[in-house]
Amino acid sequence: MSATARLSGALDALAARHRLRRLIPAQGLDFASNDYLGLSGAPVLTQAARDALDRGVPLGAGGSRLLRGNHAEHEALEAEAAAFFGTEAALFMGGGFQANQALFSTLPAKGDLILHDALVHASAHEGMRLGRAETRAFAHNDPGAARDVLAAWRADGGSGQVWIAVESVYSMEGDLAPLADLAALAREEDAVLVVDEAHATGVFGPHGAGLAHGLDAEVLTLHTCGKGLGLSGGLICGPKVMADTLINRARPFIFATAPAPLTAALVRAALGALQSDPSLQSAAQTRVAHAHAEARAHLGLAGLESQIVPVILGDDERTIKTAKTLQNKGFDVRGIRPPTVPRGTSRLRVSITGNVTRDDISALFQAICETQQEQP
């Protein structure tokens, strides 16, 4: 069988299981993106782009950071980000996936253990796959299970550095990690707590600095710039020695073209906006509270914790049909299926963005309720 025939057959098999992914354009009200503060098209960033271009900030870097691609805007962003997120240093990379891949494949050494929540992002798994450390998962959001898995590793002879990897806000569940308990475990075990703040940045913490801000433990955080900050890129924040190690050893940093200096300038502006305009964060929290109330009233959903509201339907086909019905009604909601989520938990991932109003939110949950009642 030819390669093209084999690939075509695999795609056909996905389609038969209602799991074939296709690119579709943005349409209707934005309940699908991660633009939680509505910054991606905000006037403050438009003006920041004009100002940056006027002062000669380049559109592209022209090379890796180590080969002339380094720019004053990158360094200014890193200094400002370290101050904003309360860390010794920050390193700017092209995206959150690349950043997770870099840190997990580079910093943990052979003989170390990466103890990770069962639901950490695919980018963390990719970094762990490329690295040399042993990896063990613990039950989602269960510090007691993490403690037990770590104890078992020690009993098996494990003696290296421990890295505890979690997300502060989980991208598909929308729930929050028990960071205080995990930080306590990290202190007890002299472990490094690695917190992916992708979906917390801008929404949670002082001025949107995230849920790990101020934790009493050795913490390394990842703040993506393509979600709450409305742009692109990723910031790894932590001890300077770790940033320097990534600069010297992380292949996704060394061999990648640097992020555009213009993007660095815009991320600086986004961080500045968070500090100067508290209404960005407070408005997001108001929208989220209203969404939780509507989800409870129309769908009976309780225990929601963030701007990510999962409406679990279970069946793949039903999920895609429901999402399509909502899109036809003017609501851009996307269906999420395995392997992104566990089998049998296909869902609508409702994202409360900065691009919708209170009335839009009410209308969406009313529409989901009606769509559920219409289906057999």
| Three-state DSSP class for residue 172 | coil
CA nearest to 95, candidates 261, 222, 268: 222
Q: Is 78 a catalytic residue?
A: no
Specify the domain boundaries for CATH 3.90.1150.10 within the chain. Answer: 21-36+307-374
Residue 227 a catalytic site member: yes
| CATH architecture for residues 21-36+307-374 | Alpha-Beta Complex (3.90)
Provide CATH 3.40.640.10 ranges for the chain: 43-276
Q: For residue 278, is the peptide bond before it cis, meaning its omega torsion is within 30 degrees of 0?
A: no
Q: How far apart are CA 364 and CA 137, in angstroms?
A: 36
| Residue 19, pLDDT score | 85
User: Does 171 participate in catalysis according to the annotation?
Assistant: yes
Q: Tell me which of 30, 35, 117, 167 is the catalytic residue.
A: 167
Of 73, 112, 196, 316, which one is the catalytic site residue? Answer: 196
Question: Which one of the listed residues 121, 213, 223, 292 is annotated catalytic?
Answer: 121
DSSP 169: B
Known catalytic residue at 199: yes
Catalytic residue among 34, 40, 100, 355: 34
134 is catalytic: no
Annotated catalytic residue 321: no
The pLDDT score that the predictor gives to residue 376 is 62
Alpha helix segments (H runs only) across the chain = 3-16, 43-54, 72-85, 96-106, 122-130, 143-155, 179-189, 240-249, 251-254, 261-276, 279-299, 316-328, 358-374
Burial pattern 142-166, b for ≥16 Cβ within 10 A else e, equals ebeebbebbeebeeeebeebbbbbb
Q: Out of 71, 199, 207, 223, which one is annotated catalytic?
A: 199
- Which among 355, 369, 270, 319 is positioned nearest to 36, based on CA atoms? 355
Q: List CB contacts of 77: < 8 A, sequence separation 6 or more.
A: 90, 92, 235, 264, 265, 267, 268
β-strand partners of 224: 234
In CATH, the architecture of 43-276 is: 3-Layer(aba) Sandwich (3.40)
**Phi, psi (5° rounding) for residue 90?**
-145, 150
Query: Mean pLDDT for each consecutive 10-residue tract of the chain (376 residues)?
Result: 91 88 89 98 97 97 96 98 98 97 98 98 97 98 98 96 98 97 97 98 98 95 98 98 98 97 98 98 98 97 97 93 95 94 94 98 97 78
pTM exceeds cut of 0.85: yes
**pLDDT of 151:** 97
Q: Which of 71, 74, 116, 227 is catalytic?
A: 227
For residue 43, give the amino acid letter: P
pLDDT attached to residue 22: 86
